[in-house]
Chain A
Amino acid sequence: MTKVLMRGNHIVGESAIRAGCRYYFGYPITPQNEIPEYMCQRLSKLDGGTFLQAESEIASIHMVIGASMAGGRVLTSSSGPGMSLKQEGISFLSALELPAVIVNMSRGGPGLGNIAPAQSDYLQATRGGGHGDYRNIVLGPSSCQELADLTFEAFNLADKYRIPVVILGDGMLGQMMEPVELPLELKIKKLPHKDWILTGAKGRPSRFIRSLILDPVEEEAHNWKLMRKYERITKEEVKWETFLAEDAKMMVVAFGIAARIAKGAIKRIREQGLKVGLFRPISLWPFPNKVIKEFTERIRHFFVFEMNMGQMVEDVKLALGGSSEIHFYGRPGGIVPTPLEISRVITSKYHQKRLG
């Protein structure tokens, strides 16, 4: 299989189309504009393809709902401020149990913030983000190859569980170019059959899809049904990676592009003979609680690094349950620290704790 050199945002589009996505609805916002532009070019040449630039993020997410109700594989993408606007529709997608894939190439915030890479939307993504009691599957790729693979897989997960899947990238991942091996294209006819979609009640009883459930007893039952689905996902869809973790005395925990930087830092630190490893959650929800907890049997120090003021660190604390010391280093606001900077901070903590 040959590799092609592609930009992250273009990879999202190509992978989505190869996964059978034929509908894209979105609104321009930096740093993800190459996704709608790519989808516009590709979908206009594909049979049954629809690209539509909506009048707002709110409209675009509700167009996603419409196409998903009709049974299509559908994509939307945005960044920071636009994701806030999409939250209404994401809550509805969850309540209506509709599959969809939503990409967030996140940027510095809050407010308009800036267009530099940041990880400031971790809590919004992993806690649902909108109103009501729900979770989305959230995947955090850290390379262009992983972006290709996870975008493809996101469509399968969305259909399998009838759930919105969020790809939490950042401006750097969207803009950078790397050689990737693209996933093989799925045959549209081989996509999963859906027996719940709205197509007009031809030769069958009519159906409806709704989220208003006035009777609290029924609404509670619906919530428990969602909860059972989330429990299944928590058991079956946890993804993570470790790097030089076998003999580590200190474990760095980082996701997405921050983990990529941390890897570079750890390589430098290892050259000095310090035993530092990396734990990288790939599924941010469900968070790999059990796996990371197992490391506490021999590792007492966890060093969380994020490009924000400390969001995933809350999940690490919950997972470890006070059984280890957790240190945190963050750079919010769109700052991308170098591996050298991170290696110095980690090394300093390593010596301070007399691990070496």
Chain B
Amino acid sequence: MEKVFSRPRSLKKTPFHYCPGCGHSLLHRIVGEVIDEMNLQEKIIGIPPAGCAVLAYNYFYIDMGEASHGRAAALATGLKRALPDRVVFTYQGDGDIAAIGTAETLHAAARGENFTTIFVNNGVYGMTGGQMAPTTVLGQNTTTSPGGRKEKRDGFPVDLSKMLAVTKGSAYIERTAVNSPANILKTKKAIAKAFQIQLEGYGFSLVEILSPCPTNWKMDPVEACRWIGEVMTISFPLGILKDVTGEKKDAY
């Protein structure tokens, strides 16, 4: 019988530690599939963050170097500058990238650093127990925004991808979600495109993925996927925010 579905070669046979319904398991698989299909396993280096995905190196059969909280873009800069012919990507959550790591990320984009960032946005600090994140939407209940996020008390959510899109130096910024089969396919396509843009030397590429966190959202997985579509995408609309591939490489 022909085998039509199996574990990607670049994923280890280690069961994920992620909660049921968590988007990280899906995304690890998607990244693994893209690495396999683009034949990058022997030239890619991943940088996991501090956060739920900190143990990513337990799951990928690729070289990985862990960053401290928020500093993945700086680490990737040093690594990619030293090894310009390798493919380098960071894998970061919303607290990691859009709060403590804003400066590192924005400046890496402004310099046009030629690496890729996979930005997993689930609107909470998951690993620490569901505190308010920079991307928590107004009205969203967390352990540190009780009764829902209020702009006067807690400030507005940060749209980092939009900021990065207006920054000269970034080459490709797309926001997708993993809340439906169609969106999962779009996410896979976006990640493959981001890696391709890096291979072609255009500069900084980032895919932001709206991802469910049923545990901290206190929803079941189906409800969580629906909430992404109905609530989260109002603050964070899906689509390509920037793509310079039609332009000359030195357009910026």
Contact = CB atoms under 8 A, between A and B. Distances in A.
A96 B42 CA distance: 23
Contacts of B107: 54-55, 59
Contacts of B66: 96, 208-212
Contacts of A50: 81-82
A70 B45 CA distance: 10
Contact of A65 (B45, B50, B57, B78): B78
B68 interface: yes
Contacts of B73: 59
A198 B103 contact: no
A210 B54 CA distance: 9
A106 B75 CA distance: 26
Given A70-B83, A72-B82, A209-B65, A54 B42 contact: no
A94 to B, nearest CB: 12
A25 interface: yes
B71 A59 contact: yes
Interface in A201-225: 201-203, 206-212
B77 A207 contact: no
A66 B78 contact: yes
Given A210-B57, A210-B66, A67 B45 contact: no
Contacts of A201: 41-42, 61-63
Interface string B96-115: 00000001100100010000
Contact of A63 (B50, B61, B63, B75): B75
B86 A52 contact: no
Given A62-B67, A62-B68, A198-B64, A71 B82 contact: yes
Contacts of B61: 201, 206
B103 A67 contact: no
Contacts of B82: 23, 50, 66-67, 70-72
Nearest to A48: B82
A60 B107 CA distance: 12
A200 B74 contact: no
A65 B75 contact: yes
Contacts of B119: none
B190 interface: no
Nearest to B81: A50
Interface in B33-76: 41-45, 48, 50, 54-55, 57, 60-68, 71, 73-76
A153 interface: no
Contacts of B43: 200, 202
- What size tier do the contact residues of chain B reach? 35 or more
B244 interface: no
B78 A70 contact: yes
B74 A59 contact: yes
B199 interface: no
Interface in B76-133: 76-83, 86-87, 103-104, 107, 111
A247 B43 CA distance: 64
Nearest to A71: B82
A2 interface: no
Contacts of A68: 78
A23 B46 CA distance: 21
Contact of B68 (A88, A198, A209): A88
Interface in A70-92: 70-72, 74, 88-89, 92
A54 B107 CA distance: 8
B42 A200 contact: yes
A26 B57 CA distance: 29
A41 interface: no
A182 to B, nearest CB: 25
B63 A66 contact: no
Contacts of A198: 45, 63-65, 79
Given A50-B81, A54-B74, A199 B104 contact: no
B247 to A, nearest CB: 25
B155 to A, nearest CB: 22
A69 interface: yes
Contacts of A67: 78-79, 81-82
A60 B111 CA distance: 14
A56 interface: yes
Contact of A200 (B45, B48, B50, B78): B45
11 contacts: A50-B81, A59-B77, A66-B75, A66-B80, A66-B81, A71-B82, A201-B61, A207-B64, A208-B64, A208-B65, A212-B66
Interface of B: 41-45, 48, 50, 54-55, 57, 60-68, 71, 73-83, 86-87, 103-104, 107, 111
Interface of A: 23, 25, 50, 52, 54-56, 58-60, 62-72, 74, 88-89, 92, 96, 198-203, 206-212
Given A52-B77, A60-B74, A66-B82, 6 more contacts: A54-B74, A55-B104, A88-B71, A199-B45, A200-B43, A201-B61
What 3 pairs across the A-B complex have the smallest Cβ distances?
A66-B78, A63-B78, A62-B74
